[in-house]
Structure 1
Amino acid sequence: MGRRRGAPEGAFTFDLVPDGSEAGREPASQEAADPGESAGAVPGPASGARRRWSGRPRRVRWVGVLGLVGVLAAVVLVDGAADRWRGDDLRAAAGGVTDLSGPPFEAWSLNEDIGGLGLSGGLIAMQGEVVAVHRHDELVGIDLATGRPRWTVQLDDADGSCGPGMAVWGDTIDVRPAELVVCVAQEIDGEAHVTVVEDDGSVLVRRTVEGDHDLVVPGPRGTVVSATWVGDPEDVDVDLRGDPLTNLTVIGEIDDGYDLELSAADAVTGEERWVTTVPFGQVRDRTQCVSWDVGGRNARVDRRATLDHAVGRELIGVAGCGILAYLTPEGKRLDVPDVATDDDDVVRRVRPLADGGYVVSSGVWNRPALEHDVLGADGERLYSVEGRVLDPLSTVGGDADELLVAFAARTIALDRAGEELWQADINAERLLARTDDVAVVLDSRDRVVGLGREDGAVRWVRDDLVVQYSALAGGGRSGELEAAFTDGTVVAVVVPTYTGERVLARWSAVDAATGEDLWSTELSSDGWGLDLAAAGHLLRWSPRGLTGYATGS
Structure 2
Amino acid sequence: MAPRRGSDDTFTFDLVPDDEVDEPLPGTEDQEPAPGRAPDGDPGQDGGSRPWWVRVRGASRRRTVAAVVVLVALLGTAGTVSTVRDRERTERLRAAPGGVADLSVPLRERWTYGEGDPWPVAAMRDLVVVITGTGALALEQQSWFQPEPLTPQPQGGVLRGIDLDTGRERWQVPVERVENCGPRADGAFGVRPRMPVSEVVVCVVEVDGQRSVLTVDGQGRTTVRALEEAGPAGDVAVAAGGAVVRAETAGEMPPLLPDIVGDERIGWDVSEAFQPPDVRVVMEDARTGEVRWERLLPVPEVRPGGDWWACAQWSGGGDPVLDVGRVSLGGGDPVVVTACGLTAQLTSSGEVVAGSGLDESGRRYETWAHALADGGFAVVDMSRSGDLTRGPARVLDRDGREVASPDGGVLDPLSTDGTQADLVLTRDGGEVVALDASGREVWRAEGLSGVRGAVARAGGTAVLLRDDSGRFLVGLDLGTGRTLWTWPMDVGTGASPGYVPGVDEYVRGAWTDGRVLLVAGPGYGATERPASWTALDLRSGDVMWQVPQDEAGPSLPGTGVYRAVDGRVLFWDGTRVTRLG
TM-score range, shorter chain: 0.7 to 0.9
Q: Do the aligned residues in 1 keep the contact of 2:328 with 2:339 (CA within 8 Å)? A: yes
Matched, 1:512 2:538: yes
Q: Alpha-carbon deviation of 1:296?
A: 6.0
Q: Alpha-carbon deviation of 1:250?
A: 2.9
Aligned equivalent of 1:370: 391
Q: Alpha-carbon deviation of 1:435?
A: 1.2
Distance in 1, Cα, partners of 2:317 & 2:543: 52
Q: Alpha-carbon deviation of 1:82?
A: 11
Distance in 1, Cα, partners of 2:527 & 2:375: 42
- Partner amino acid for 1:452? D
Find the partner of 2:509 among 483, 486, 495.
483
Which secondary structure does the structure 2 equivalent of 1:88 belong to? Answer: helix
- Partner amino acid for 1:210? E
Q: Alpha-carbon deviation of 1:355?
A: 2.2
- Indicate how the Cα distance of structure 1 residues 352 and 442 shifts in structure 2: closer, same or farther if over 3 A, else same: same
- Partner amino acid for 1:286? W
- Partner amino acid for 2:323? D
Q: Do the aligned residues in 2 keep the contact of 1:429 with 1:443 (CA within 8 Å)? A: yes
Distance in 2, Cα, partners of 1:132 & 1:166: 11
Aligned equivalent of 2:479: 454
Distance in 1, Cα, partners of 2:289 & 2:372: 30
Find the partner of 2:111 among 108, 111, 132.
108
Find the partner of 2:203 among 171, 174, 183.
183
1:53-68 aligned at under 5 Å gives the runs none
1:34-183 aligned at under 5 Å gives the runs 84-111=87-114, 121-127=119-125, 129-136=126-133, 137-155=157-175, 157-168=176-187, 171-173=191-193, 175-183=195-203
Aligned pair count?
450
- Indicate how the Cα distance of structure 1 residues 399 and 253 shifts in structure 2: closer, same or farther if over 3 A, else same: farther
- Partner amino acid for 2:300? G
Aligned equivalent of 1:257: 276
- Partner amino acid for 2:129? A
- Partner amino acid for 2:225? R
Q: Alpha-carbon deviation of 1:176?
A: 2.6
Which secondary structure does the structure 1 equivalent of 2:416 belong to? Answer: coil
Distance in 2, Cα, partners of 1:303 & 1:507: 49
1:4-49: CA deviations, max 9, x gaps? xxxxxxxxxxxxxxxxxxxxxxxxxxxxxxxxxxxxxxxxxxxxxx
Matched, 1:386 2:386: no
- Indicate how the Cα distance of structure 1 residues 296 and 395 shifts in structure 2: closer, same or farther if over 3 A, else same: farther
Find the partner of 1:492 among 499, 505, 518.
518
Q: Do the aligned residues in 1 keep the contact of 2:99 with 2:567 (CA within 8 Å)? A: yes
- Indicate how the Cα distance of structure 1 residues 540 and 471 shifts in structure 2: closer, same or farther if over 3 A, else same: closer
- Larger relative helix fraction: 2
1:121-157: CA deviations, max 9, x gaps? 5432222x121111122111112233221222222x1
Q: Do the aligned residues in 2 keep the contact of 1:423 with 1:456 (CA within 8 Å)? A: yes
**Highest RCO, 1 vs 2 (Cα 8 Å, sep ≥ 6):** 1
The runs of 5 or more residues in structure 2 that have no matched partner are: 1-83, 134-156
Matched, 1:194 2:185: no
- Indicate how the Cα distance of structure 1 residues 516 and 473 shifts in structure 2: closer, same or farther if over 3 A, else same: farther
Q: Alpha-carbon deviation of 1:484?
A: 0.8
1:296-445 aligned at under 5 Å gives the runs 297-305=318-326, 307-312=327-332, 314-336=333-355, 348-364=367-383, 366=385, 369-425=390-446, 426-427=448-449, 428-445=451-468
Q: Alpha-carbon deviation of 1:417?
A: 1.1
Which secondary structure does the structure 2 equivalent of 1:454 belong to? Answer: coil
Q: Alpha-carbon deviation of 1:255?
A: 3.8
1:305-343: CA deviations, max 9, x gaps? 4x343222x421212221111112122222547698xxx
Aligned equivalent of 1:69: none
Aligned equivalent of 1:23: none
Q: Alpha-carbon deviation of 1:199?
A: 1.0
RMSD of Structure 2 on Structure 1 (CA): 3.5
TM-score (structure 1 length as normaliser): 0.73
Q: Do the aligned residues in 1 keep the contact of 2:244 with 2:285 (CA within 8 Å)? A: yes
Aligned equivalent of 2:41: none
Find the partner of 2:314 among 292, 298, 311.
292
Which secondary structure does the structure 2 equivalent of 1:491 belong to? Answer: strand
Aligned equivalent of 1:529: 560
Which secondary structure does the structure 2 equivalent of 1:288 belong to? Answer: helix
Matched, 1:225 2:245: yes
- Partner amino acid for 2:461? V
Which secondary structure does the structure 1 equivalent of 2:103 belong to? Answer: coil
- Partner amino acid for 2:182? G
Q: In terms of Rg, which structure is larger?
A: 2
- Indicate how the Cα distance of structure 1 residues 242 and 158 shifts in structure 2: closer, same or farther if over 3 A, else same: farther
Aligned equivalent of 1:41: none
Matched, 1:268 2:268: no
- Partner amino acid for 1:437? G
Identity of aligned pairs, percent? 31
Q: Do the aligned residues in 2 keep the contact of 1:238 with 1:254 (CA within 8 Å)? A: no
Q: Do the aligned residues in 1 keep the contact of 2:391 with 2:410 (CA within 8 Å)? A: no
Q: Alpha-carbon deviation of 1:90?
A: 0.7
1:148-181: CA deviations, max 9, x gaps? 21222222x1423222333349633563332222
Which secondary structure does the structure 1 equivalent of 2:578 belong to? Answer: strand
Aligned equivalent of 2:573: 542
Find the partner of 1:212 among 217, 230, 241.
230
